[in-house]
Amino acid sequence: MNTTTAEVERTLARRIFMILAASCLAALALAATSEAESLAGAAAGPLLSRSAETTAGGYKPFFSVPGGKAFLLTQACLEHGAMKMEVSAADGTFAVSERGCTDFLPAYVVDGSATFHCRNLSGQMRACQITGRMVDDAASARRAAFIDVDEALSATR
């Protein structure tokens, strides 16, 4: 199999993107999930990051939240503007479609049994990535999704 220089450069660029997204923003995700955990009153597990490379025109499930738990999504990253990350759950579908990384502060609560999918409408293989924490008590974590942090902070001043 012959690999062209352009293919090698694209592969290297994808890997650099994923490494930078994971390493540069891990501190932000850690701070955000700690805040979300304290707001939710739920014990969160360790920082969790999942990624998937999807072929051109592909649609690939890459992470499922176990039933009875919740995932505190703090960051979703897409390598290209022609991509979309979809989260299908019993209560509907949530999608991220901005190129680069989208931060959710304190966190977006994804209920158990939901599945993350990476949809690639670009002409080349591309990557999706998520970062967050798993919590055991989905009911108490759900409260974190609706707290207005700015309003809560201004009320304490």
Task: Quote the domain boundaries for residue 132.
Answer: 5-147
What is the share, in percent, of the chain residues with pLDDT greater than 90? 39
pLDDT, averaged across the chain = 76
Whether residue 81 is contained in a domain is answered as yes
Residue 34 sits in a domain of what CATH number? 2.60.120.1300
pLDDT the model gives residue 89: 81
The pLDDT of residue 42 is above 90: no
The pLDDT of residue 66 is above 60: yes
Question: Which residues, 6 or more positions from 73, have their beta carbon under 8 angstroms from its beta carbon?
Answer: 104, 107, 108, 109, 110, 130, 131, 132
Whether residue 152 is contained in a domain is answered as no
pLDDT the model gives residue 43: 60
Whether residue 157 is contained in a domain is answered as no
- Sort residue 140 into left (φ over 0), alpha (ψ -120 to 50) or beta: alpha
Across the range 28-55, mean pLDDT stands at: 65
Tally of domains within the chain? 1
The pLDDT of residue 29 is above 60: no
pLDDT the model gives residue 31: 47
Q: What is the pLDDT of residues 116-146, one digit of tens each?
A: 999 999 889 999 999 999 998 666 665 544 4
